[in-house]
Chains A and B, each alone.
Chain A
Amino acid sequence: MMSNNSYTEIRNGDVPAGLSDIPVVEYDLFYEIVTNMLADERYHCVSYFCHRSGESLKFICCIADDGSGAIRIIGHEKKDDGAPLRSLTASCHAMHIFEREIHEAWGINFEGHPWLKPVRYPHDRVDSLSMMDNYPFYQIEGEELHEVGVGPIHAGVIEPGHFRFICNGEKVLHLEIQLGYQHRGLEKLIREAGGGLRRSLLAEDIAGDTAVGHSLAHAQLIESLAGFEPSLSLQAERCIALELERIAVHIGDTAALCGDVAYQLGQVACEALRTLVINTTQFWCGNRFGKSLVRPGGTNYPLTGEIAGEILKVLEEVDRRFSNVVDCVFSLPSVLGRFEDIGTVTRQQAVSIGAVGMAARTCGVPRDIRATHAFQYFRKIAVAPVMQETGDVLARGMLRALEVKEAIKFIRQLIAGREDSAEKSGRPQYDLKLRPGSIAVSLVEGWRGEICHVALTDGEGRLTRYLVKDPSVHNWMALALAVRNQEISDFPVCNKSFNLSYCGHDL
């Protein structure tokens, strides 16, 4: 940890910072520092939130430096007097979601915020008159325009959310996405879970399709606060699980993309391959989604030679068969016609909205936490982000295919590397003592992108805040931008190409 006058620095999953070490500056200076940093693409904000401290509200902003791998923490404080703050969003659009969250939870008004709308309708929101049914949708007047509302319940077996399109004929002028239907009060439950086991289970349920990603972010955060250093073999096993999750979802998404453009062979072939991968995860830990596998302090399911052998065997087959499918899918004119130049997000848009993970990498923005803020065993492996430049559905499809290849390569490397380590993985520890008066930040590159968990402890080492950020929080805006000027009939394939999380967003 190091500090200068205006911020404290920590590293991902490393020693936490003392809450009292965070410089608290006047808002004008805070505004200047944050906007100056974020004007440079090398920095991006991973968390910005507010908490009560006596009579006043304390604000903490965590900005990741993708160049040095540091996370800078800076704070400001204000009386809880209802006075507004000058909005950061006006000069840095990526901050829009954080200021909206703070507005919804604490009632702070941000002057000049162009879009200060509800985020997820939390049960304890300040404005109880703000309801799911009276969301302030953007409207355009015009005789030739019409609105199309879809959801919360969609045609398929997926999670709920509401999409409101403004269309001119078949063409989408604007899409607004209203979320919150999945809100379960998760952050409060984690904070008040009482036991480490219950906390871990809640982390697995943040988004069940990212059970490994979120439970790893959680375990890493708790271990950081407890000063626990996982053994290299445990680190490697976690990374293997994370990459298995990436492979399974990417292949499943490839199936769904094929399904959306009625290419049935690609769909069924990929469905079968996904089954092979998730059944391998089940062979390892008894659960197809990797629930119960990642825990703070150790694991109940160490990776035995038998399991590692099975993983390698299955991946060899998946690699071969999936390559054949990919070769076919991405050379079929009928498929390419539905993917190419559809749902394009520009590089500038991606940077501006703070896109992370796949949504950024498909637009030529190299955001990958494994490369910039390496965690667990990735600190020992050189990761070069897989990139695409065109930002369309094709790029998002291709990226998945390439990342599956890359993930298989990592797993082979990880399994080989782990054998060098004589240390055991160890058993889970549910009663780790957390460092008092601290803040820790944990970043993990899940299959969607950057997962961020932040925790604050009080003087006794109890959790006073636990913040979860799924990559979807940033990337939903990318979907809204992607469908502008597209045919509305292309919405399903655009949506699928992002495959964002509703529950991970709504918490």
Chain B
Amino acid sequence: MMLKELRILADHGKQFVPDLRKQPVSERFRGRPVISPGITEQQAGQAASLCPTGAIDGRSGAIDLGRCAFCNECALSMPDVYRFTNDYRIAATNRDDLVIVPGQDEPLKIDETAVRKDIRRLFRKSLKLRQVSAGGDNSCEMELGAAGNVNFDMGRYGIEFVASPRHADGIVITGPVSGNMARALEICYEATPSPRIIILVGTEAISGGLFADSPAVNRAFIENHHIDLYVPGNPAHPLTFINGVMDLVGL
């Protein structure tokens, strides 16, 4: 038995990603988009009519990553105008910063002035989070689980998911917030001691995504609370989440 286990260990080798900031991902992964600065209003209109989540502005052609489903259809049908890079560092502290305008081709940086002072002082060395899925489709949830796994191991920075909101410094919401989950989400947030943060993970949490107009969804909690970090994606990649949180707490 011991020999069998040693064989597994030998196969396993070292699995952790050494530098979570610079880990390369597949070329085809869709992260930060780049829009041609020369986009015409006609092209913008065409792209907007194509977009299934209304993420593209029909006049400027800008893409709102908070609404984008990363389906790639705009880039596939208008490759000279739209393309997605594999830059996964796309989390932001301001909702408006998720809007990528034509000609913008810089890595996204969080707005330092938007980070509350307490966050850096209290959570830089240890951040415990309670995850709440509220109508999520289990892909973002699985990616958040993966953020703590043997590969991404965000626990190395003291960032961890915990079982009880009483032990947490904040909540991480996935899903568009189904009406049937609205009350439980509120109770969970109230049970988290202050100061506490709120992180939205995935397009559905940030804007409702495909479910934004569903009568079964209740966005009141999101609208009534200050959001500390927006992590886009469909689902959000573990590296997007980890890099976003590291930026937020000042690591």
Interface residues of B in 192-249 (CB under 8 A from A): 204, 209-211, 214-217, 234-235, 237
- List the B side residues contacting A325 at CB < 8 Å: 8
| Distance (whole angstroms) from the CB of B232 to the closest CB of chain A | 14
Interface residues of A in 270-285 (CB under 8 A from B): 271-272, 275, 279, 282-285
Query: Which residue of the partner chain, among B53, B71, B179, B181, contacts A160 with CB atoms under 8 Å?
Result: B181
- List the A side residues contacting B164 at CB < 8 Å: 155
Q: Are B180 and A208 in contact (CB under 8 A)?
A: no
Q: Are A272 and B15 in contact (CB under 8 A)?
A: yes
B140 touches A (CB below 8 Å): yes
Number of A-B contacts (CB under 8 A): 194
- List the B side residues contacting A182 at CB < 8 Å: 133, 135-136, 175, 178, 180-181
- List the A side residues contacting B71 at CB < 8 Å: 197, 201, 291-292
Q: Closest residue of chain B to A278, judged by CB?
A: B146
Q: Closest residue of chain A to B25, judged by CB?
A: A282
Q: What CA separation (Å) do A59 and B32 show in the bound complex?
A: 48
- List the B side residues contacting A185 at CB < 8 Å: 211, 214-217
Q: What CA separation (Å) do A325 and B145 show in the bound complex?
A: 21
B117 touches A (CB below 8 Å): no
A289 touches B (CB below 8 Å): yes
Q: Are A211 and B28 in contact (CB under 8 A)?
A: no
Q: Are B1 and A265 in contact (CB under 8 A)?
A: no
Taking A159-B141, A184-B216, A197-B52 as contacts, is the C-beta distance between A286 and B28 under 8 angstroms? yes
Query: Which residue of the partner chain, among A157, A211, A332, contacts B144 with CB atoms under 8 Å?
Result: A157
Interface residues of B in 70-85 (CB under 8 A from A): 70-73, 76, 84
Q: Are B135 and A328 in contact (CB under 8 A)?
A: no
Taking A201-B71, A208-B235 as contacts, is the C-beta distance between A160 and B134 under 8 angstroms? yes
- List the A side residues contacting B214 at CB < 8 Å: 123, 184-186, 188-189
Q: Closest residue of chain A to B137, judged by CB?
A: A208
Q: What CA separation (Å) do A202 and B209 show in the bound complex?
A: 10
B122 touches A (CB below 8 Å): no
Q: What CA separation (Å) do A11 and B1 show in the bound complex?
A: 50
Q: Are A291 and B28 in contact (CB under 8 A)?
A: no
Q: What CA separation (Å) do A157 and B171 show in the bound complex?
A: 11
Query: Which residue of the partner chain, among B12, B149, B180, B235, contacts A181 with CB atoms under 8 Å?
Result: B180
- List the A side residues contacting B141 at CB < 8 Å: 157-159
- List the A side residues contacting B215 at CB < 8 Å: 123-124, 185, 188
A384 touches B (CB below 8 Å): no
- List the A side residues contacting B209 at CB < 8 Å: 205
Q: Are B149 and A275 in contact (CB under 8 A)?
A: yes
- List the A side residues contacting B179 at CB < 8 Å: 123, 183
B188 touches A (CB below 8 Å): yes
Chain A 130-152 interface 0/1 with B at a Cβ cutoff of 8 Å (1 = within): 00100000000000000000001
Q: Are B131 and A157 in contact (CB under 8 A)?
A: yes
Q: Closest residue of chain B to A210, judged by CB?
A: B138
Chain A 384-398 interface 0/1 with B at a Cβ cutoff of 8 Å (1 = within): 000000000000000
Query: Which residue of the partner chain, among A183, A269, A282, A292, contacts B135 with CB atoms under 8 Å?
Result: A183
B163 touches A (CB below 8 Å): yes
Q: Are B72 and A268 in contact (CB under 8 A)?
A: no
Query: Which residue of the partner chain, among A121, A155, A195, A208, contacts B163 with CB atoms under 8 Å?
Result: A155
Q: Are A272 and B151 in contact (CB under 8 A)?
A: yes
| Distance (whole angstroms) from the CB of A192 to the closest CB of chain B | 10
Q: Are A283 and B26 in contact (CB under 8 A)?
A: yes
Q: Closest residue of chain B to A272, judged by CB?
A: B15
Q: What CA separation (Å) do A121 and B134 show in the bound complex?
A: 15
Q: How many residues from A make CB contacts under 8 Å with B? A: 65
Taking A157-B131, A285-B28 as contacts, is the C-beta distance between A208 and B175 under 8 angstroms? no
Q: Are A184 and B26 in contact (CB under 8 A)?
A: no
Taking A185-B211, A292-B71 as contacts, is the C-beta distance between A205 and B137 under 8 angstroms? yes
Q: Are B138 and A265 in contact (CB under 8 A)?
A: no
- List the A side residues contacting B217 at CB < 8 Å: 184-185
B100 touches A (CB below 8 Å): no
Q: Are B150 and A300 in contact (CB under 8 A)?
A: no
- List the A side residues contacting B146 at CB < 8 Å: 271, 275
| Distance (whole angstroms) from the CB of B56 to the closest CB of chain A | 13
- List the A side residues contacting B204 at CB < 8 Å: 205
| Distance (whole angstroms) from the CB of B62 to the closest CB of chain A | 20
Q: Are B139 and A184 in contact (CB under 8 A)?
A: no
Q: What CA separation (Å) do A286 and B12 show in the bound complex?
A: 25
| Distance (whole angstroms) from the CB of A241 to the closest CB of chain B | 14
B142 touches A (CB below 8 Å): yes
A399 touches B (CB below 8 Å): no
- List the B side residues contacting A206 at CB < 8 Å: 137
A287 touches B (CB below 8 Å): yes
Taking A268-B150, A332-B1 as contacts, is the C-beta distance between A158 and B133 under 8 angstroms? yes
Q: Are B138 and A286 in contact (CB under 8 A)?
A: no
B157 touches A (CB below 8 Å): no
- List the B side residues contacting A327 at CB < 8 Å: 4
| Distance (whole angstroms) from the CB of A484 to the closest CB of chain B | 26
Interface residues of A in 164-218 (CB under 8 A from B): 180-186, 188-189, 195, 197-198, 201-202, 205-209, 211
Taking A185-B215, A268-B12 as contacts, is the C-beta distance between A211 and B139 under 8 angstroms? yes
A331 touches B (CB below 8 Å): yes
On A, residues with C-beta under 8 Å from B are 121-124, 132, 152-153, 155-160, 180-186, 188-189, 195, 197-198, 201-202, 205-209, 211, 252, 265, 268-269, 271-272, 275, 279, 282-289, 291-292, 300-301, 320-321, 324-325, 327-328, 331-332, 501-503, 506
Known: A181-B184, A183-B179. 18 other contacts (CB 8 A): A123-B215, A156-B145, A157-B144, A158-B138, A183-B178, A183-B216, A184-B135, A184-B178, A197-B52, A198-B53, A201-B71, A265-B9, A268-B149, A275-B146, A279-B26, A285-B28, A286-B84, A288-B143
A-B contact pairs, 14 of them (CB 8 A): A121-B180, A124-B215, A157-B144, A185-B215, A198-B53, A208-B138, A265-B9, A269-B11, A286-B28, A287-B29, A320-B11, A328-B4, A331-B4, A503-B136
